[in-house]
Structure 1
């Protein structure tokens, strides 16, 4: 994101705080301890400092993609709970009911998949319980709590807060054979009459503008994660024996990420202006994610072409960054997401 509209102060402090974390990004418990410590100091989206938040997420990704992947859902959960509180949900009671404290770590599990369905039922005593299986639950075996969508009828889903350390939640260890983000296991969780607290009315989670803002925050991480790759291409272009091709690769990568940062900066201003309705927020997020994902995939391809197999086979940090980014950016669904963007444009 453009430096002329962001101080970078929060980002610099965030990255500096990671220097003393042993195994930052690869040791999940150590990184989660860092996450629970630093996340409350980050601004929430839509409150005047969205650009600063996204710049901070991008800066962490530039340091380590895995660490940013671990940080992002916790930050998103805090934002969701903040929005819920602003809409009238008693988040203080929620925290007391689920024994949430300053060391708690959060995930957001909202994916659906074939053969897996999570159902919420309200018992006679008024409490809610979750039963069934939720797919794609990243880091569930390590987290203390999660915000989870569950079906409350044939057509409606509702968001619930739930503890993950009790007997009612059992996280799978796989299948997870990914070479990228190996430590961020995203596998199913089985819930069996797990006590849960509703967060917002049915449909609220998907309808709120913050749903789109969270998706743009993920794109900011993709962008930040690609920055060291563009830096490597620039370094190659400065080498004594660099040719025109080396300079062309560096120029193409710089232009791609400049466009991505510009899109993120413009989106941050639009979010903070506060005049986006649900449709406008979704259109903005779809556009930004398309621009950023294209830029990151372009940089990944340029890096492979320019640097060859050397760093992929002999440089641990480079090889891990490339593998992590290739998995992470697949949260963009390529032409299917472009089709959704086209439908929004045509509506």
Structure 2
């Protein structure tokens, strides 16, 4: 083998080395403390305090995006069960909500006894799986319909694939694949009800609040920089652009929350798709302007800034980019447009 081929092989091998996930015990402990002190009991969406719910999500995001990933999944699970089973007690512990269904990872109901079902298959994108007690997940029933199932993760039929999560940004969320091999679960609601209920899109708006909270914190570092006597006009210009973007996003969050509270039984798909698109654009703008204004220093010397800046680009990929924009465009093309009227 030639020296150039050896050189290329060495580099290829080194570049493809796996990420070694490091369990974040502080993250799990903090999540448990928030549960214990009652901070995860948020107002239900669509009942007059949607904006207050989103403010809580934004506040946790401003602290840490890995934490809000667990916090949002837990609080979403509580809201879903309260909406679908208002009279049923909710089991204690830390919950996750896992509804992703990529073609390569599906869970099926293979047997049942009443509302007790047995699950077989693999679930991807299971945020916080090694740190959680229970989860709500979507599975396919005998007629291939989506069915929401509550599962105790501590049973022998549940296992995690640690090597399935190679993230650097959002790495500590441990969003691994989870395998179910005859695991016992309980049906929550009717087939298809998880997606069809009003709370589905109302909850989707909460994700935009998470993105927004982290962007505000990054913008705050730029604002503090511009309060120092040594700042230059370029930094001030970047701050002006960031302020304009964040104010537009905050107005959209408030308007959408108000719409949801005024129309709690209507589908919020169009308002929330618009909101997520607007906030995603704002987040990308903030990341660009803050990075250009502040340079490498906060990325390398400020742990909080560095975590947010690394995690946020990964977190906003919960948006499906042009696919989501196309879905919004198809909805708008099919009906009269009222969102453009002043």
RMSD (Å), alpha carbons = 1.8
Separation (CA, whole Å) in 1 of partners of 2:212 and 2:239: 16
Counterpart in the other structure of 1:85: 85
The gaps in structure 2 that reach 5 residues or longer are 1-23, 335-342
Question: CA 1:126–1:285 in 2, change beyond 3 Å: closer, same or farther?
Answer: closer
Residue 33 of structure 1: aligned partner: 32
Deviations 1:296-325 (A, max 9, x none): 111001111111112112222111110111
Residue 130 of structure 1 is matched in structure 2 by: 119
Q: Which residue of 1 aligns with 2:323?
A: 336
Q: Is 2:262 the partner of 1:273?
A: yes
Matched with 2:68 is 68
Three-state SS of the structure 2 residue aligned to 1:214 is: helix
With over 3 angstroms needed to count, the CA separation of the structure-2 counterparts of 1:246 and 1:165, relative to structure 1, is: same
Q: Cα gap change, 1:305/1:271 in structure 2, threshold over 3 Å: closer, same or farther?
A: same
- Residue 260 of structure 1 corresponds to which residue in structure 2? 249
The Cα of 1:126 is off from its aligned counterpart by 6.4
Alignment of 1:240-255 (within 5 A): 240-255=229-244
Normalized against structure 2, the TM-score is what?
Answer: 0.86
Alignment partner, residue 22 of structure 1 = none
Structure 1 runs of 4+ off > 4 angstroms? none
Shift of 1:63: 2.1
Question: Deviation per CA, 1:87-141, whole angstroms, max 9, x where unpaired?
Answer: xxx523xx5xxxx23xx11001110123222101343676311111111111111
Shift of 1:275: 5.0
The C-alpha deviation readout for 1:35-72, integer Å capped at 9, x for no partner, is 32234532111111111110111111112222222211
The answer on 1:105 being equivalent to 2:94 is yes
CA distance change for structure 1 residues 298 and 163 in 2, over 3 Å: closer, same or farther?
Answer: same
Which secondary structure state, in structure 1, belongs to the residue aligned with residue 308 of structure 2? helix
1:268-297 CA-partner distances (Å, limit 9, x unpaired): 11111135522xx11111000001111011
**Contact preservation (8 Å) 2:134, 2:151:** yes
| Residues 276/83 of structure 1: CA separation in 2 closer, same or farther (3 Å cut) | closer
- Where does the alignment leave 5 or more consecutive residues of structure 1 unmatched? 1-24
> Residues of 1 paired with 2:287 and 2:25: CA distance?
21
Cα deviation, residue 336, structure 1: 1.4
Aligned length: 310
